[in-house]
Amino acid sequence: MMFSAQSHHRGFGQRGQDDHPLPVSDQGSCPHVADRGQQRGAAGGEKHPLSGVGHRRPVQPAQQLIVILVVDSTDRARLTLTKDELHRMLAHEDLQNAAVLVLANKQDVKGSMTAAEISRCLTLDAISTHTWHVQACCGLTGEGLTACLDWMRSKVVKS
């Protein structure tokens, strides 16, 4: 199954991650991508039969945006910053219909917070305007990642 989704990420400056601005979209117009027919021909200066015709096809917008937040389950001190940033992001008009998937990573590390603890720290119960889910996972073993994909698939199929 193929997903139609837009990708936006916002790092918190750890391990080489960059801070990227929130997505900016032009909801009023439909962006276009040139079709292959517009590409110039190859050797000998020949042109493709449709070159220069200007054939364009609209790019369909994603039916469901999903914000994916990866949380280090061992880093309790950073959760306050993460909570504030998440709530600020979700208030942005471009994300008003986005679902939220929180990956509680590093569940293999002793003393890591559970998915329920992370949910409480991020005050996810206060978010009534977005569908959300917290999934315990381990990036090293892949545990929990299939459940993440299943949840995302269910959101895309519903929309």
Q: Sorting pLDDT into bands at 50, 70 and 90, what band is 156?
A: confident
Structure confidence at residue 60 (pLDDT): 52
Out of 46-50, 107-111, 141-145, least confident range: 46-50
19, two tokens? 């801070």
Region 8-32: mean pLDDT is: 41
Specify the residue for token string 């299943």: 150
pTM above 0.75, yes or no: no
For residue 73, CA distances in Å to 13, 31, 35, 52, 98 come to: 17, 39, 45, 54, 23
Structure confidence at residue 57 (pLDDT): 52
Which is nearest to 122 in space by CA: 67, 68, 159, 78? 78
Which is nearest to 107 in space by CA: 68, 152, 154, 70? 70
The span from the CA of 51 to the CA of 103, in Å, is 46
- Domains along the sequence of the chain with CATH: 27-60 (no CATH), 66-158 (3.40.50.300)
| Position 101 pLDDT exceeds 90 | yes
Out of 41-45, 99-103, 143-147, least confident range: 41-45
| Position 51 pLDDT exceeds 70 | no
56's enclosing H/E stretch is strand 56-58
Region 88-102: mean pLDDT is: 94
